[in-house]
A and B are shown apart, each in its own frame.
Chain A
Amino acid sequence: MDYSERERISHVARRLGFGVEPEIVEGAADVDEAISMALDLSTPTPPPEPVAPSDMGEARSPEQREAPYRYWFTQLVGGPRRIEERLTWFWHDHFATGIQKVKVPYLMFVQHATIRKLATGSFADLLGAIAIDPAMLIYLDGVQNAVDRINENFGREVMELFTLGRGNYTEADVVAASRAFSGWVVPRAGPRAQRRGLTPWEATFVPTRHDGGTKTLLGVTGDLDAQGAIDVILDQPQTAVFVSAKLYRELVGTYPDLDTNERIAATFRRDWSIMALVEEIAAHPAFVSDEAIRAKVRTPLERAVGVAQSLEADAPALGRGIFQALRAVQFVPFAPPNVAGFPKGSRLLGPYQLVHGFDLTMALPERLPDLAAAEIAARLGIFDLTDRTRSVIDAATDPFVRTALTINAPEYFVT
């Protein structure tokens, strides 16, 4: 394949950033500059400011429900740290937690703030924080997990999905981990919490609910608690292998070969620096190779953010059109379909998902500039447009229809 330098820059910007990244695509002279622009952390992101609701009624008010989306969408579209957007999304998908079960948007916002703060920091810190994150405690039944009734939901998923992968622990390890994680609750705002002197919405350790007995987890015996269990899991070499391979795939689009995986895992394990891992992956020749370009299916969220960045759609404050388009294809942040996260790959290419790709047009203004296919595509960061795509789009006389076809062209369904 013979991709242009502009197409390669665009590829780098999309994979390390989020959406179509017009500023990087227009500003970077070459691939290396695009990488450094995307990885630049010098400007702080405006901090998320979740406001704790005073009771359950307020917890589900429209303001509470919209606040986390408003904040996140604004950053996805135009936040100053592009790699932070990529990684915040990646970790949300990795540590999938859904509002469907958590039910309190404020807690999703708090989790988002935690993930964002640590997304470019230490994976060890991130994993430790997630283990006692209030939304996660609710989502994977940590709040039900007590000494006399051990609930295995989090204890299993923390190893299966978050760190080790299946086949790298036993059922006995699931029980041991679950016992170690027992004892945490999340008090809801209300008279009950007040009476008992508990701070609402905060993860709270209740010693009488914790199983303080001796456990053997992954070969380590002791009276492990939550942090103890996390430490044991982090000590398993497989954790770095598993997580680094997943991040490699997120950025490159394919899995690393064995040697590469071992190498990046060794970097990762050294001090769990997520940015060190990102930098190593970005510097790997595979990252900008022909095999990596257009090798992933573009997610509905990436398509939507790209449209918002480039076509004056109604995005920064979470426009209705964009939100509804995401809802139609069940790709709404804070609402992954299950604990395994959001659908990926060809699962995004079913007839239903493709047809509703057009729903994004609901976010566009009625009057659009009268541009040819190549110009619209360039705004969307697509430079190497195939002749077939170009001719189909240019055959439409209406500028709006040309745009609608461009954002539903094969080139905009891959990344």
Chain B
Amino acid sequence: MTEHMNPETPPAETPDGACPAISRRRFIAALGASVATVAVGAYGISVWGKDPGATTTTTSGGLQVSATVPPPGALGPATGRTLVVIEMGGGNDGLNTVVPFSSSHYHDLRGDLAIDEPLDLDGEIGLHPALTFLAERYGTGEVAIVEGIGYPDPDLSHFASMAVWWSGLPGSVGATGWLGRYLDGTVGTEDPLAGVTIGPGPTPALLGERAFQVSVQDMSGLAPRVPGWIDDTDELMAMWSGFAPSDFDGAVLLDDVRAAIGTTVDAAAQLNAVLDGPPADDENTTGRRRRSDLGTSMEVAAALVTGPNPPRVVYVHGWGDFDTHEGQAARHQDMMEALDEALREFFTAVEDAGAEDRVLVMTTSEFGRRPAFNGSGTDHGTAGAHFLVGAPVAGGRYGEPPSLTDLDRRGNMVHTVDYRSVFASVLTGWFDADAASIFGTDLETLPLLG
């Protein structure tokens, strides 16, 4: 494949989107039988090999990238701590979340969309009026606000920006996610529940070369919906597990499916022990499942982090639609309410369980929105503000508010904080991890954790 053809669309057997990885067959062909550790596609499962420190090669858009996957434990110790990431997909409007209400430029640019009475934090900035829980916790020093987060040479495409955020590799196409690489170098394949995604499916941010990623949608955990005359779902799953390999070969896609079945059976058993498990009614439950919303997702997150084997990383996505080109005022209000309420309920559950010292929550979004109101909403922007929440946080303001007068040629703000600095601050401050290896470069860190 060459650059001109289509750098964005990955090779066969990876989803369309931003995280190309090599096709399975070409991968095997390229490396021969000595390969022990491989990534399967761009999302979802990884399968394990025999040598924990294998070198892998990935191809995307004609680029060949070789990387050594460090063995489990190499990039950071076990900590008993959990990071919960809440992704606000579509591009959250940072300016109407953390509002620079004291700036006349803000009001000029935003016009009718400006928030006149935010929850004042310090006379300069305020939070969206729906964010009452976050304002309270800011007051008690448990919320860090980082302003001006972005990446260089911003691409205003959702998919390009998401790829940058997920991979932690601006300017290049990453085959793995920043959290996947963290799990690769710490947990490896020891724990299939070390990385759990809550939402419509796996996230590229958690894609590793070998670490597992399990995704669930709600408290029902992992169980199929089958007709009433199949009276024992567990037995059906047990028979199905017979398709899983006893010995992994990995030569063809069919083997990947077998490996995926094996992982699935293990993960389901562990997850269902923590969550409610499948609904215990004998009526068919068709039609009950709904699109994940943040409240449901955070309920699952609370159950996981307060359970006996808390994941290292919980990634919540697929809720809301922050791409507010039109009708922004009402839509953003609804999503801010959902965020605040879900956080309040989550921390109530975490604190009831006495787990508050080992839980950190952070928000992400692929970009902020344009300062100028477009008459109905706002178009794709660049820099945004994000939160870190929890007892371990050193509360306060970090970063620097981007200028509202010195905008780029598209009328967007120029970022002041590299998004990878925030990731690196969390990985080092919270997990004592080797962030330089995970991002391939030394990054400035912020003292976000107390």
**Chain A residues in the interface with B (C-beta under 8 A):** 141, 144, 148-149, 151-153, 156, 160, 165-168, 171, 174, 238, 241-242, 245-246, 249, 253-255, 258, 261, 291, 294-297, 320-321, 324-325, 327-328, 330, 337-341, 343-359, 361-362, 364, 366, 386, 388-389, 391-392, 395-396, 400-401, 404-405, 408-411, 413-414
Contact = CB atoms under 8 A, between A and B. Distances in A.
Nearest to B202: A350
A320 B286 contact: yes
Given A349-B260, A405-B239, A241 B45 contact: no
B45 A346 contact: yes
B309 interface: no
20 contacts: A141-B325, A166-B7, A168-B4, A174-B156, A249-B12, A255-B1, A324-B286, A343-B15, A344-B16, A345-B14, A346-B43, A349-B257, A351-B222, A355-B224, A357-B224, A361-B224, A362-B225, A364-B227, A395-B239, A401-B236
B281 interface: no
B359 interface: no
A414 B236 contact: no
A165 B43 contact: no
Contacts of A357: 224
Contact of A347 (B9, B41, B222): B41
Interface string B220-249: 001111110110000011011011000000
Given A330-B201, A352-B216, 7 more contacts: A165-B8, A344-B16, A346-B44, A354-B261, A355-B237, A392-B242, A405-B236
B226 A413 contact: no
Given A149-B374, A171-B410, A343-B201, A395 B3 contact: no
Nearest to A349: B260
Contacts of B380: 152
A59 B131 CA distance: 36
Contact of A345 (B12, B229, B252, B376): B12
B325 A153 contact: yes
Interchain residue pairs A-B with the least CB separation, the first 3: A346-B41, A358-B224, A392-B242
B325 A362 contact: no
B267 interface: yes
A352 B224 contact: no
Contact of A351 (B157, B268, B286, B410): B268
A156 B156 contact: yes
A327 B237 CA distance: 21
Contacts of B383: none
A254 to B, nearest CB: 4
Contacts of A392: 239-240, 242-243
Contact of B223 (A144, A339, A346, A355): A355
Contact of B201 (A254, A352, A396, A409): A352
Given A297-B253, A330-B200, A350 B215 contact: yes
B403 interface: no
A100 B324 CA distance: 15
Given A165-B5, A413-B257, A141 B326 contact: yes
Contacts of B40: 346, 349
Given A330-B200, A350-B201, A350-B213, A165 B226 contact: no
Given A351-B222, A410-B257, A165 B6 contact: yes
Interface in B142-173: 155-160
Nearest to B163: A166
Contacts of B291: 330
Contact of B326 (A144, A355, A388): A144
Given A350-B215, A408-B240, A362 B326 contact: no
A351 B4 contact: no
Q: Which of A174, A258, A340, A341 has the most CB of B within 10 A?
A: A340
A258 B240 contact: no
Contact of A355 (B159, B243, B264): B264
A52 to B, nearest CB: 24
A328 B16 CA distance: 21
Contacts of A152: 156, 379-380
B289 A327 contact: yes
Contacts of A352: 201, 214-217, 222
Contacts of A171: 156, 410
Contacts of B258: 410
B267 A347 contact: no
Contact of A255 (B12, B15, B201, B253): B12
B239 A396 contact: yes
B2 interface: yes
Contacts of B227: 361-362, 364, 366
B363 to A, nearest CB: 20
A245 B201 CA distance: 27
Nearest to B409: A171
Contacts of A353: 201
Given A330-B201, A346-B13, A295 B25 contact: yes
A410 B252 CA distance: 11
B98 interface: no
B230 A347 contact: no
Given A165-B6, A404-B236, A294 B252 contact: yes
A359 B240 CA distance: 14
A242 B410 contact: no
B67 interface: no
B15 A295 contact: no
Contact of A254 (B12, B17, B224, B261): B12
Contacts of A165: 5-9
A125 to B, nearest CB: 23
Given A350-B202, A353-B201, A359-B225, A321 B286 contact: yes
B284 interface: yes
A414 B41 contact: no
Given A261-B5, A366-B227, A349 B254 contact: no
A340 B236 CA distance: 35
Contact of A361 (B43, B155, B226, B263): B226
Interface string B400-443: 00000000001000000000000000000000000000000000
B256 interface: yes
A174 B160 CA distance: 15
Contacts of B26: 254
A320 B227 CA distance: 13
B354 interface: no
Contacts of B237: 355
A373 to B, nearest CB: 12
A217 B378 CA distance: 24
A349 B379 contact: no
A404 B230 contact: yes
A156 B222 CA distance: 38
A414 B214 contact: no
Interface in B1-58: 1-9, 11-17, 23, 25-26, 40-45
Contacts of A400: 229-230
Given A160-B8, A341-B16, A352-B201, A358 B225 contact: yes
Contacts of B289: 327-328
Nearest to A146: B375
